[in-house]
Structure 1
């Protein structure tokens, strides 16, 4: 199935900006001067931006300021201690954090001298604490049920479990590595200086991806060279990357896969961008395919293969694409529609068409005059260049930039 559009709309090049890298949740009386304090110090020394609620006034309900901080954090680290569930403040934080997880926030539970099964089964201190909370909130039992559900959910996540005897610094370094990998993976891509006409295309591709559906979806973006396929893919990547456990944008795939070494480097880059593991080395293409399959088959990933011209380039990275985890999405940009139609996975195909005349005029004028329209003396020449470029964004950008600050004679000569 093919889709195309040439509708224009305004587009802001800004992408969502997290106010904090890490929101640190813990019960101060238990761990402020111990584990949480050490973790905060190392995160701070590594230049991560951390929210810690030391200065907020505590009460039965968490403040709107705190909820805002949770929502604007890329990662939440929850440090569970023996007395964690006795604090209504901590339980409310936990419930809010898990709401944010639904919208793409990364949640890292740390069990500090607490067995996760105690939280999952709500036994021991956690059972006692929740029984007390039920008595305290007997007129609002839904609140406690929400806390119980949140505790069960978080205890089933991939967790960090610390016990006495394990080197604390080494344990914390593992958490720092995870935070670093997550931040690297969620860094947005620069799109374009003037991404005019891109927004409508990006919205159409995003609809085809449909991140809320189960299953694995492959979407192909095809069109002429210079029509803006890569730019569109970058915008989509920036918009949806937070819905995935890992994302990778492999640019100039055709150019970089011409040699065996180039293919191996692409395989290693894919592994690094998803796992953050610089030690992931591949000795040959066949082994690389299996390493990728073994290490990533349990992760919901977003992968963009930019500028593919042969089917075997895809197979050298993903094999037959039959191992991708549920919810994963692949975007392939290509000049050759045949690459997409021969895929076994039956991808949805989106065709990118040229800019309409209004968009072409705006893009050219931005590069040539740093304005939305040409100067009066240059209108006729501008129209000639726009006709010559035939609505190709790359041509309009290159010609406009070359002519910028040139006089009439230079324009006429060009």
Structure 2
């Protein structure tokens, strides 16, 4: 009888802990802002969402690639906002390329990653190696979603995340980059190429900015089309 009660209590305690963690994750997490008048985002995010929800216990790595300014970051932000609360920890690291060029830039990125996952409990980090050791300890215990935005060297990926084998089963990593072959040395599970907007999407985007609606106002269609065509 005691064993049965103890088992029930243990299950109830774990259930309550899971609820508390999920609520904390939703309330305490700051998600990245997405620009106004985003056009065509749903179609471009759909495949990433399916990959994030595939139910696999593998540690997945996905690369979103394409030319500069095509919308890779916006797509990654949207996917992150729609899925971060389904993981035990998450972090969106923006502008990795620019940040890594600053003094101690990679260490700062490591610290932000740890702070996001641990909800602000991270102490100072004094070297990349120290940061990698701390990251290893954290990501092995939680199923996490991490986005590295605008990566241009595989060394940045390695310094921030280390080895994929460190991660808890089911963890997901998304990288945005201009370089399709950036992570050839890593096991990449999914590749998402971002193409430019079609003519209709370009016209809609222009209309939102120029007229605050999805299409040009009466009498401005031809002018709008000429602007879009450049």
**TM-score scaled by length of structure 2:** 0.89
User: Does the 8 Å CA contact 1:256/1:262 hold for their aligned counterparts?
Assistant: yes
Partner of 2:11: 153
Structure 1 122/180 Cα, relative in aligned 2: closer, same or farther at 3 Å?
closer
Partner secondary structure for residue 248 of structure 1? strand
* Higher RCO structure, 1 or 2 (CA under 8 Å, sep 6+): 2
Q: Please tell me whether residue 352 in structure 1 is matched to residue 194 in structure 2.
A: yes
Distance in 2 between residues matched to 1:295 and 1:330, nearest whole Å: 15
Partner of 2:151: 308
Superposed displacement of residue 332, structure 1: 0.5
* Map 1:173-188 → 2, pairs under 5 A: 183-185=27-29, 187-188=30-31
Structure 1 344/222 Cα, relative in aligned 2: closer, same or farther at 3 Å?
same
Distance in 2 between residues matched to 1:257 and 1:181, nearest whole Å: 27
Cα offsets for 1:51-105 (capped at 9, x unmatched): xxxxxxxxxxxxxxxxxxxxxxxxxxxxxxxxxxxxxxxxxxxxxxxxxxxxxxx
User: Does the 8 Å CA contact 1:247/1:303 hold for their aligned counterparts?
Assistant: yes
Q: Please tell me whether residue 320 in structure 1 is matched to residue 163 in structure 2.
A: yes
Q: Which has more radius of gyration?
A: 1
User: Does the 8 Å CA contact 2:25/2:88 hold for their aligned counterparts?
Assistant: no
Superposed displacement of residue 303, structure 1: 0.1
Structure 1 runs not aligned, ≥5 long: 1-117, 124-147, 160-175, 389-414
Superposed displacement of residue 181, structure 1: 6.5
Superposed displacement of residue 182, structure 1: 5.6
Structure 2 runs not aligned, ≥5 long: none
Superposed displacement of residue 307, structure 1: 0.6
Structure 1 301/223 Cα, relative in aligned 2: closer, same or farther at 3 Å?
same
* Map 1:245-256 → 2, pairs under 5 A: 245-256=88-99
User: Does the 8 Å CA contact 1:260/1:285 hold for their aligned counterparts?
Assistant: no
Q: CA RMSD in A?
A: 2.5
Superposed displacement of residue 260, structure 1: 4.7
User: Does the 8 Å CA contact 2:25/2:85 hold for their aligned counterparts?
Assistant: no
User: Does the 8 Å CA contact 1:220/1:348 hold for their aligned counterparts?
Assistant: yes
Superposed displacement of residue 197, structure 1: 0.2
Partner of 2:217: 375
User: Does the 8 Å CA contact 2:151/2:175 hold for their aligned counterparts?
Assistant: yes
Partner secondary structure for residue 173 of structure 2? strand
Partner secondary structure for residue 122 of structure 1? helix
User: Does the 8 Å CA contact 1:246/1:273 hold for their aligned counterparts?
Assistant: yes
Distance in 1 between residues matched to 2:161 and 2:193, nearest whole Å: 24
User: Does the 8 Å CA contact 1:181/1:275 hold for their aligned counterparts?
Assistant: no
Structure 1 243/179 Cα, relative in aligned 2: closer, same or farther at 3 Å?
closer
Q: Which of residues 56, 59, 81 in structure 2 aligns to 1:216? A: 59
Distance in 2 between residues matched to 1:296 and 1:329, nearest whole Å: 11
Structure 1 239/179 Cα, relative in aligned 2: closer, same or farther at 3 Å?
closer
Superposed displacement of residue 179, structure 1: 6.9
Aligned length: 227
Distance in 1 between residues matched to 2:117 and 2:163, nearest whole Å: 19
Distance in 1 between residues matched to 2:13 and 2:122, nearest whole Å: 30
User: Does the 8 Å CA contact 1:211/1:243 hold for their aligned counterparts?
Assistant: no
Partner secondary structure for residue 256 of structure 1? helix
Distance in 2 between residues matched to 1:158 and 1:292, nearest whole Å: 27
User: Does the 8 Å CA contact 1:221/1:332 hold for their aligned counterparts?
Assistant: yes
Superposed displacement of residue 295, structure 1: 2.5
